[in-house]
Structure formats: C-alpha cells, structure tokens
Amino acid sequence: MGFRAYSEGMEFRYLGNSGLKISEIIYGNWLTHGSQVENDVATQCVRAALEAGITTFDTADAYANTAAESVLGAALASERRASLEIFTKVYWPTGPRGHNDSGLSRKHIMESIDGSLTRLGTDYVDLYQAHRFDHETPIEETMQAFADVVRAGKALYIGVSEWNADQLRAGRALARDLGIQLISNQPQYSMLWRVIEQEVIPTSEELGISQIVWSPVAQGVLTGKYKPGAELPAGSRATDEKGGASAIKGFMRDDVLEGVQKLQPIADEVGITMAQLAIAWVLANPNVAGAIVGASRPEQVVSNAQAAGVTLDATVLARIDEALGGLAETDPTKTVSPESRPS
C-alpha cells in the first residue's frame, strides 16, 4: 500500500462521544459510483478527494446494488488503510431481493457485513450503520447482531441513519448495555431540510451521538444552478432518471428556487461558492461531525472540500435564514423509516 501525506487544509472532528476523528468533508457515492458515473471517473473523484485531504468515505451495500462498494474499494486499494475511515450501511434490499435480503435481522446483518468487506477489500469498516430503522425486527436482535460484528473485529463503531429521537434513545441504551459504541446518526440536513433540529439533535447531544449529514447541498439545488422557470441544465441530477430526478423533485419548486437565488450575494460577500456556503452552513451546527458530498467530476470534489474550516458568523447565518424565509422543512415527523421491510 502507498503512503499519502494528507492535505493540511482539511479539518477533522470527533465522531460522537468517541476518540475517532473524521474529516469534516466526507466523500459519499450514493447516486454516482456504479450507476450515474463511469468507473474511471468515479476513481478520479476518489483520488481528488484524497488529494483534497478527505480521509472519510461513506457508502452502502444497496448503492447501485452493491456495485458502489466495489468501485470504492478498488479506488482505495493502494491507500494505507489506517489513514482512512470507511463507512458502509445495511438495511435496503441487495442481490436478488429475496425475503431475507433486506432489513436489520441478524441473518441479513451477518451476511451483509461479510459481503461489504469483500467488495470494499478491507478486513473491517470503521463505522457500520443501520441504513434505516427496521420496524419488523426487534431492536434487541439488531443491536446484538451489531455487537457481534464489532466483537468479531469487522466494524469498530456502530451508527444509524434517519432514526428519530426515540429510536436513537432505545438504540443507544442497548448499545451501552452490550458494551459497544453507537456514535452517529446519518440524516438528511441542509438549509432547506431542517427536520432534525427540534428533536433529533437535542437528543443526540444528550446521548453523545454526532450527525454525519447527507445532501447538505439539497441534491444540488443550493448551488443555484436551477433557475425558477428555466430549462433544467443538461446532465444535471434533476434530469437523471436513474434516481437523481426523484431524489431532487421535492425541492424543484419555483418559490424554493427563487429563495435560493437570494443566497448568491451572501456567498459572494463571504468569498465562497454557493455550494461551499451550504456545506459550511451544516458544519456550523456543533452536533454535525461531517458533511457528506458526492460528485460526478473531480473538480466538484476539490471545490466542495474547500468548505472545510469555513466559519460563518451570526450575521451571515441570520441573512441566510432571512433569504429562505419559511421555505425550509422543519417538521420532526419527517424523520421516518418504512413501516415494513422493503423488498
């Protein structure tokens, strides 16, 4: 394995109440690797992330039906493993989508971790995450399986994604009893999607759980590239029928797009791009340990990584709130997991 001297420009934060440090900017490959972006470009994006000082990489077995893990593993194969933090997840259907190929049962967790490690080309992941809450599996079964994964040395820490405050409290209590560390939650969070602020964040602060947030740029809407009433940019996520268009449609309203345009003067005055402003905004929340960014081109990674260490003062934060008015979604009940196991 090669040795890389990581960029001094990156900032690092502790993840939850643990000694694990992660890069403020996390490279994620949800809608890109193995699907939207060709493998050689995906590898270039990973290389650009490493050069920018990003050490933390987030994926999931369900992304591109396991292909995203394989692409990421190949791209990181020459790196010193101890210098990286590799995260993956389990819950959504994988493989042939059989009756036990989803959820958080002991069977699915124990089989999924082995598949993920093989595809990622590593003996362990730093963080293994429940990709949603499984209402059809007793949480005691799920947490016992996670504890066994940790004790087997296949994961160092446990996290969850899009769990509500009550679920976090129950999971954290069981983890403590089992002697393992549940240190993170991975929710959607941005200037336009603030549903975790009322309940999830206060509970997480109490429990020693950090947020590692996805979609800080609201699927690209907060870059300002989508103009109200204008034709969609060719090749943009809003035109991607493989999943990007459905993920972004909730933000593609004229009132939202008009509000976003008011952020441009603020970004200009701070001296950063609108995407960097959006990423710096989520990092301004002390409960956020890292912001997950994706990319379809290496130069996007480089630009997004420059949001690390950017401080937005109270005046700028107030101006952002004023520009977006009541456009942000704040309803805590929007943090939900499927009532039945997906198939």
- Reported as type and span, the H/E element at residue 185 is strand 182-185
Q: Is residue 343 part of a domain?
A: no
* Cβ count near 19 (within 10 Å): 9
Q: Is residue 227 part of a domain?
A: yes
**pLDDT number for residue 31:** 63
d(CA 159, CA 105): 16
d(CA 49, CA 69): 16
Q: Is residue 75 part of a domain?
A: yes
Q: Is residue 205 part of a domain?
A: yes
Q: Is residue 83 part of a domain?
A: yes
Tokens in use for 163?
Answer: 């769990």
Q: Which residues of the chain have pLDDT under 50?
A: 1-7
Asked if 176 and 146 count as a contact pair (C-beta separation under 8 A), the reply is no
CATH number for the domain harbouring residue 34: 3.20.20.100
Q: Of 340, 25, 337, 341, which is closest to residue 168 (Cα–Cα)?
A: 337
- Total domains in the chain come to 1
Q: Is residue 282 part of a domain?
A: yes
Tokens in use for 178?
Answer: 């089992």
d(CA 202, CA 338): 24
User: What is the span of the domain harbouring residue 156?
Assistant: 12-334
Q: Is residue 1 part of a domain?
A: no
Tokens in use for 183?
Answer: 């240190």
d(CA 236, CA 320): 25
Tokens in use for 65?
Answer: 């039906």
Tokens in use for 301?
Answer: 């990674």
**pLDDT number for residue 296:** 85
Q: Give Cα separations from 239 to 133, 220, 230 (angstroms).
A: 30, 12, 13
Q: Is residue 3 part of a domain?
A: no
Tokens in use for 93?
Answer: 């259907």
Residues 6 or more apart whose CB falls under 8 angstroms from that of 35 comprise 63, 64, 67, 68, 242, 243
**pLDDT number for residue 242:** 60
Strands 25-28 and 210-213: unpaired
**pLDDT number for residue 245:** 60
d(CA 107, CA 169): 24
**pLDDT number for residue 42:** 87
Residue 38's φ and ψ, nearest 5 degrees, are -65, 155
Q: Choose, from 6, 14, 27, 63, the residue flagged as catalytic.
A: 63
**pLDDT number for residue 1:** 36
Helix (H, G, I), strand (E, B) or coil at 332: helix
Residue 63 annotated among the catalytic residues of the structure: yes
